[in-house]
Amino acid sequence: MSRTALIVGTGSGISASVARALAGEGYKLALAARRPEKLETLAHETGAKVFAADAVEPDQVTALFSQVDRDFGHIDVVLYNASFRTRGPFLDLNPPDVQRTLMVCAHGGFLVGQEAAKRMVARGSGTILFTGASASVKGYAQSAPFAMGKFALRGLAQSMARELGPKGVHVAHIVIDGSVRGTPSGREAADAVADNLLEPDAIAATYLNLIGQHRSAWSLEVELRPWVERF
């Protein structure tokens, strides 16, 4: 029986590299995004099925998992990679954008995590991964909403790990502590010499290692940063 994985919030950076790495290990893949048309090339490359879903809409998340059930029969790995961010001077932040940041970063993680957990607890195995950020552990100036959303996601991951670990489900939270090559914040850091940004493929290697961990020695949290990063 093939191993299967679902990535929610698939883009062109970390999630694409994880998709390629999983495909390389023989996983059958489902990739979900709000605008799945951008995933055509990646789907072609990895043999993935592509799904349209907004992770903050409970009905769409439920429907997504039902489709994956029908297509794959079971799910071994779920990665929640969706993110949204508003930033700027605290006094200028726009409440609806702040709310959306909380919804996408955290509530969507809950919705996806719960659907994943329902299936994995029933089978007594599976891996649920959450992509965090520097803002998961440190609230920066001019970036309160992202800190709110990413802190919340970390709290979710901790609670899930404590409850679901003894039921055989591995929950892990990866703190990406730096700018990723090819992303907007990566381009901002464009004084970039070679490999002073996080390489998505190098990040993906650690995601794959987490997925492969034996349950006698699971990690809940791992942080990743480039060698030159000040922290």
Q: By CB under 8 A, what part of segment 82-141 binds its own copies?
A: 89-91, 93, 95, 98-99, 102-103, 106-107, 110-111, 114, 117-118, 121, 135, 138-141
Nearest to 175 by CA among 126, 121, 219: 219
Closer CB to its own copies, 28 or 84, in the complex: 84
Please name the residues in contact with 126: beta carbons below 8 A apart, sequence gap of 6 or more: 75, 76, 77, 78, 116, 119, 120, 168, 169, 170
CA separation, residue 65 to residues 68, 89, 149, 222 (Å): 5, 38, 23, 27
Instruction: Please check whether residue 77 is in contact with residue 6, taking contact to mean a CB–CB distance below 8 angstroms.
Output: yes
Shortest Cβ 47–its own copies spacing (Å): 26
User: What is the DSSP-derived secondary structure letter of residue 1?
Assistant: -
Shortest Cβ 71–its own copies spacing (Å): 23
Residues 136-165 contacting its own copies, CB under 8 A? 138-145, 147-165
Shortest Cβ 181–its own copies spacing (Å): 8
Nearest to 163 by CA among 120, 133, 130, 201: 120
- Binding piece for its own copies, criterion CB under 8 A, among 24-32, 47-55, 77-85, 207-215: 207-215
Residues 28-57 contacting its own copies, CB under 8 A? none
24 is a site residue for its own copies (CB under 8 A) = no
Closer CB to its own copies, 29 or 176, in the complex: 176
